[in-house]
Structure 1
Amino acid sequence: MGKMFSESAIERIEQEYKEWLQEYEKALQKLPERLERFSTVSDLEVKPLYTPLDIKDKDYLEDIGFPGRYPFTRGVQTTMYRARLWTMRMFAGLGTAEQTNERFHYLINHGETGLSVAFDFPTLMGYDTDSPLARGECGRCGVAIDTIEDMERLFAGINLEEVTTSMTINPPASVIWAMYIANAENQGFDRRKLGGTIQNDCLKEFIAQKTLMLPPEPSLRLVVDTVEFGTREVPRWNTISISGYHIREAGATAVQELAFTIYDGITYVEECIKRGLNVDDFAGRLSFFWNSHIDFFEEIAKMRAARRMWARIMKERFKAQKPRSMMCRFHVQTAGCSLTAQEPYNNIIRTTTEALAAILGGCQSLHTNSLDEVYMIPSEFAVKIALRTQQILADEVGVANVIDPLAGSYYVEALTDRMEEEANEYIRKLDEMGGMVAAIEKNYPQMEIADSAYRFQQQIERGEKIIIGINKFPSEIPPLEVLKIDPEIERLQIERLNRFKERRNKVKLQKALDELRRRCEGPPCWENNVMPALIEAVKAGATEQECCDVYREVFGTYTDPASF
């Protein structure tokens, strides 16, 4: 292996750079720089110019390489978008299952190539609509799914063997996945042909999003159950989408998002290996989920660094042999936290640049946020613009014609290296602390993110970070027609749930729930894997909450310890 530049070339460049730097400093005496300090949105300082000196120690084959080859810096697929574009997977969920199904068909008819389900908050927390804890929340931030019949309504008229489905749900992920599989089988589909993703990332819930149900250890056990079941029974399914998105939305920097998410992935791999799974049997079906924030080059560098880091971790730390086990395949969503209520049409521009970064970063699927998402569940008008944004980038702009066109950029390569170095420092700290669960119990990642969020807010208030319409060219919040969820939906959903419960065979239902309980109470192993029991339980009419209540009764519940 060799360096990209000869020593003599570096010496000449160093001399020329010194001369240029003197000219630059003289120019600044006439016209000073417009900012006191230039930095990325995550506050990594940015130099005025990048040259071969910033990547003089790089080895092309070891550090950059070729697409589809280790270390996958340039992409996980050999052909990338020249053969197949990324999956355009718009996040959708509102009101009832029928309303969300209507939105699915609308998006498919306008060119969407994958489904992505947003669930309402009671569903995310493992409660049925008739729970006192769920009142007033039915369909508000997503779709309410209580039963297998709701799942049937949600996907009516959609070929589940042809369209892949992503479901953003975490503590009750195993239950919702069981409903999806059971409904598919009831419709005549083969579980081995089903493709999609469940987020199923319990660790980032403790760190960031906080849809909490069980303590960390039993939560990890259920995650491993889904990985084990998917490996054996649903081989096309991604059983965990290891999510940095919500970590970033909580206020993390790009480096923190990268480091904490990668370490969550390390933890899941370790837990699966403890169960007795072979790393090359399951690792190829782990996927990631990144946030594409507003700083264009920082996001591209983060995604390139993620691929290289994961490849090296899987090869060196876990001794994976198969190239697919080393691939960091990922979905990207543009940054919801970058959108503003002021001048909401400006959000189209923000989303476009963030989507472009995701594409140049090599994503496998992409969701583009809608201009009105800061107000409400997106309107059809806004979601169509968001989908068209992806389609224009795919077919008109030309960025999908060349694989990793920014490779070799002195700035991008230097920033990729820096992201990896700083993220690896976090990984070393987490190892020293005894792993992610121990770190969560010490509130370490939570406080690191909180501190970053506070610093960023201070920078905004001081005018060091510019947000158009907020602290530069400030604007009033305009009146915008807001999509409202009819409160009548909750009453109708509860009525439907009650009728469903009345029709069930109580003996068959109790037997299925007893088997689920037996498996939960037993030691973690294939014979006690919860997934087969869950599928039988939901087919027998168990609701989401009834299954989750078994979990809560056996494993206990978790309350987030407030820390300041």
Structure 2
Amino acid sequence: MDERMTTIQELEDVVRQQQEELEGLRREVGQWRQQYDTGRKRDIAFTNSADEVPPLYTALDLEDTAGSAFELPGQWPFTRGIHPTGYRGKLWTMRQFAGFGTARETNQRYKFLLSQGQTGLSVAFDFPTLMGYDADHSRSEGEVGKCGVSISSMADMETLFEGIPLDKVSTSMTINGPAIILLCFYIAAAEKQGVSAEKLQGTVQNDILKEYMAQHAWCFPIEPALRLVVDGFDWCAKHTPNWNTISISGYHIREAGATAAQELAFTLADGFTYVERGVARGLDVDEFAPRLSFFWDIHNDFFEEIAKLRAARRIWARHLKERFGAKNPRSWMMRFHSQTAGVTLTAQQPTNNVVRVAYQALAAVLGGTQSLHTNSMDETLSLPTEEAVQVALRTQQILAYETGVPNVMDPLGGSYYVEALTDQMEQEAEALFAQIDEFGGVVKGLEEGWFQKKIAESASRQQWEIEQRRKLVVGVNEFVTDEPELTIPILRIGEYAETEQRERLAALRASRDNALVTERLDALRNAARGTENVVPRILDCARAYCTLYEIRAALEDVFGAYREPVFF
């Protein structure tokens, strides 16, 4: 008993000493603020968030929380990372977003990138493909191959990956409205290589909610579009166990003008909605949640971005476990890809973009990303040249192999500033979740324009700050030179891509079994009218060389087309 009393006394002494130290620190900080902190805001805004960052953080900012002081990487709630050994076990995947012109041209770019040390492929599609149109559709005129690669059928997908073994590479496809169609093209192309679906690794973005919110590349109304997403969850859980069926994307929300807190909250709210829809379908959350992934924008505010990523992992883990009852630890783990912020790149003094991207890449790695794309210096002017892509890739390789940054997981964990900012980001996200729930949920918020208005207000404020020179952009509204701008090589895509794609499509339609095409498209329509999972039907269409628009049109016959309400 005496021993126990001694231990309790010692603990009480430690607590009393800590309280006295905090009281002493509180007095010192009060004196410091009186002398040095006038409360005046800076003339310049360093962040696109609405809130001003205090000039000093101390242990007092963590009084009500221990931050992640008692957490370890790879352990609940994963604030400090999902892998116990971090990058010492495996570096992040270096995945440069690439695609232009025809499938054959992009295939050559992929082989170049792989030869330069890239460890994963990421497909950029042109705008007609993103919208579900074939290259010879009237709405595609003038846009074929201009902002990405043109893919109109499984034949194009075969060419895109010719000579690239699909059981050996991880592929990410950035597409949403017709995402399930492009995934089926990919699976069918892999089959032609002799690679089964079970062996495929990669991600299809497939995040349709953020399209209605920010990017506007959709095909169908919201409810049938969500059905296609959940059909993908269901089918892929059984047939492509190593494939990420969705990349829930904050990137485009942020690029449209959202703050970091809005990007965090709106993206996670979308994620929760997908989980709710999967569970409502009757799927076990642990059957599909482990293959959900995320995609974050990495902006200029260095510490804010790191805190955002740390908070995102913590929030996702808590909600999946406590709200949705997930029992598999892999369901709790947020895995994500990051991309440096395209919206921060400037046409003026474009070589400055190399520096911006390097700092943003460092923030992504310090935040624990699993995969990273670094933008090329010329992307604000055109699709990147081979030389610019190589510099962007070398940025990641220097970070990985020369800086020593990957040696320690979450090296900023324990920082008063980073821990307090992580807590703040979490609190702001939870407050926004409450507003979304009060409004009626994500779908209602989209239908009523609530999300769109919030993002537009934030974008407007940021633009005002630049115009008023409250926010400085080097080379744009400060440090401007009178000398002629440095000219850098520009990649220009001519009309040849459209001509070639039209010829390929004409040849395809003449050589395929058109009776089989009609039969498969009719079967797809019938499946869409009922409750059957349509993925097998789309896959059958892909194998018969039905084109992208033919499949989209068959589904549109049943689902209808989406027309955006006017909000402003």
TM-score normalised over the length of structure 1: 0.95
| Cα-to-partner distance string for 1:354-382 (whole Å, 9 max, x where unaligned) | 00000000000000000001001101111
| Cα-to-partner distance string for 1:179-220 (whole Å, 9 max, x where unaligned) | 000010111001101000000000000000001211100000
Superposition pairs of residues 271-350 of structure 1, within 5 angstroms: 271-350=277-356
> Is 1:454 paired with 2:480?
no
> Is 1:474 paired with 2:474?
no
Query: What is the DSSP-based 3-state SS (H/G/I as helix, E as strand, rest coil) of the residue aligned with 1:482?
Result: coil
Query: What's 1:262 paired with?
Result: 268
Which of 39-48 and 530-539 deviates more?
Answer: 39-48
The alpha-carbon distance between structure 1 residues 201 and 14, as it changes in their structure 2 partners (threshold 3 A), is same
Which of 10-19 and 505-514 deviates more?
Answer: 10-19
Query: What's 2:522 paired with?
Result: 514
Find the aligned partners of 1:258 and 1:190 in 2 and give their Cα distance: 36
Unpaired segments ≥5 residues, structure 2: 1-10
Return the offset for 1:510: 1.1
Query: What's 1:546 paired with?
Result: 550
Kept in 2, the 8 Å contact 1:64–1:74? The answer is no
Kept in 2, the 8 Å contact 1:356–1:393? The answer is yes
Query: What's 1:419 paired with?
Result: 425
| Cα-to-partner distance string for 1:409-448 (whole Å, 9 max, x where unaligned) | 0000000000010111111111122210001011011000
Query: What's 2:65 paired with?
Result: 58
Superposition pairs of residues 154-233 of structure 1, within 5 angstroms: 154-233=160-239
Q: 1:437 aligns with which of 443, 451, 461?
A: 443
Return the offset for 1:270: 0.5
Give the % identical residues.
Answer: 52
> Is 1:44 paired with 2:51?
yes
Q: 1:9 aligns with which of 18, 21, 25?
A: 18
Query: What's 2:564 paired with?
Result: 560
Query: What is the DSSP-based 3-state SS (H/G/I as helix, E as strand, rest coil) of the residue aligned with 1:162?
Result: coil
Kept in 2, the 8 Å contact 1:355–1:368? The answer is yes
Kept in 2, the 8 Å contact 1:64–1:71? The answer is no
Kept in 1, the 8 Å contact 2:165–2:193? The answer is no
Superposition pairs of residues 25-104 of structure 1, within 5 angstroms: 25-26=34-35, 35-36=42-43, 40-59=47-66, 65-104=71-110
Find the aligned partners of 2:254 and 2:278 in 1 and give their Cα distance: 26
CA RMSD of aligned residues (A): 1.8
Kept in 1, the 8 Å contact 2:44–2:471? The answer is no
Name the amino acid aligned to 2:567.
S
Name the amino acid aligned to 2:191.
E
Kept in 1, the 8 Å contact 2:201–2:242? The answer is yes
Kept in 1, the 8 Å contact 2:122–2:171? The answer is yes
Find the aligned partners of 1:210 and 1:478 in 2 and give their Cα distance: 34
Find the aligned partners of 1:114 and 1:6 in 2 and give their Cα distance: 51
Q: 1:530 aligns with which of 521, 534, 543?
A: 534
Unpaired segments ≥5 residues, structure 1: none
| Cα-to-partner distance string for 1:525-544 (whole Å, 9 max, x where unaligned) | xxx11111111111111001
Return the offset for 1:20: 4.6
Query: What is the DSSP-based 3-state SS (H/G/I as helix, E as strand, rest coil) of the residue aligned with 1:177?
Result: helix
Name the amino acid aligned to 1:12.
E
Kept in 2, the 8 Å contact 1:37–1:45? The answer is no
Name the amino acid aligned to 1:184.
A
Name the amino acid aligned to 2:496.
E
Query: What is the DSSP-based 3-state SS (H/G/I as helix, E as strand, rest coil) of the residue aligned with 1:493?
Result: helix
Find the aligned partners of 1:141 and 1:147 in 2 and give their Cα distance: 18
Return the offset for 1:8: 3.6
Query: What's 1:18 paired with?
Result: 27
Name the amino acid aligned to 2:517.
L
Find the aligned partners of 1:176 and 1:332 in 2 and give their Cα distance: 22
Find the aligned partners of 2:479 and 2:40 in 1 and give their Cα distance: 21
> Is 1:131 paired with 2:137?
yes
The alpha-carbon distance between structure 1 residues 40 and 14, as it changes in their structure 2 partners (threshold 3 A), is farther
Name the amino acid aligned to 1:22.
Q
Give the count of matched residue pairs: 555
Query: What is the DSSP-based 3-state SS (H/G/I as helix, E as strand, rest coil) of the residue aligned with 2:95?
Result: strand
Name the amino acid aligned to 2:495.
P
| Cα-to-partner distance string for 1:468-491 (whole Å, 9 max, x where unaligned) | 111211246543332110212211
Which of 169-178 and 457-466 deviates more?
Answer: 457-466
Find the aligned partners of 1:169 and 1:20 in 2 and give their Cα distance: 51
The alpha-carbon distance between structure 1 residues 60 and 451, as it changes in their structure 2 partners (threshold 3 A), is closer
Query: What is the DSSP-based 3-state SS (H/G/I as helix, E as strand, rest coil) of the residue aligned with 1:470?
Result: coil
Q: 1:369 aligns with which of 358, 372, 375?
A: 375
TM-score normalised over the length of structure 2: 0.95
Query: What is the DSSP-based 3-state SS (H/G/I as helix, E as strand, rest coil) of the residue aligned with 2:427?
Result: helix
Query: What is the DSSP-based 3-state SS (H/G/I as helix, E as strand, rest coil) of the residue aligned with 1:400?
Result: helix
Find the aligned partners of 2:30 and 2:55 in 1 and give their Cα distance: 10
Query: What is the DSSP-based 3-state SS (H/G/I as helix, E as strand, rest coil) of the residue aligned with 1:74?
Result: coil
Find the aligned partners of 1:94 and 1:393 in 2 and give their Cα distance: 27
| Cα-to-partner distance string for 1:77-98 (whole Å, 9 max, x where unaligned) | 1111011000000000000001
The alpha-carbon distance between structure 1 residues 243 and 27, as it changes in their structure 2 partners (threshold 3 A), is closer
The alpha-carbon distance between structure 1 residues 504 and 54, as it changes in their structure 2 partners (threshold 3 A), is same
Return the offset for 1:24: 5.5
Query: What is the DSSP-based 3-state SS (H/G/I as helix, E as strand, rest coil) of the residue aligned with 2:406?
Result: coil
Name the amino acid aligned to 2:202.
G
Find the aligned partners of 1:260 and 1:411 in 2 and give their Cα distance: 24
Return the offset for 1:276: 0.7
Find the aligned partners of 1:64 and 1:141 in 2 and give their Cα distance: 47
Return the offset for 1:7: 5.5
| Cα-to-partner distance string for 1:442-472 (whole Å, 9 max, x where unaligned) | 1011000000000111111122111111121
Return the offset for 1:269: 0.4
The alpha-carbon distance between structure 1 residues 480 and 22, as it changes in their structure 2 partners (threshold 3 A), is same
Return the offset for 1:562: 2.8
Which of 391-400 and 17-26 deviates more?
Answer: 17-26
Query: What's 1:489 paired with?
Result: 497
Find the aligned partners of 1:6 and 1:230 in 2 and give their Cα distance: 53
| Cα-to-partner distance string for 1:302-322 (whole Å, 9 max, x where unaligned) | 000000000001011101001
Which structure 1 residue ranges, 4+ long, deviate > 6 Å from structure 2? none
Find the aligned partners of 1:533 and 1:64 in 2 and give their Cα distance: 50
Find the aligned partners of 1:187 and 1:310 in 2 and give their Cα distance: 37
Query: What's 2:394 paired with?
Result: 388
| Cα-to-partner distance string for 1:43-67 (whole Å, 9 max, x where unaligned) | 3221111111101222467x86111
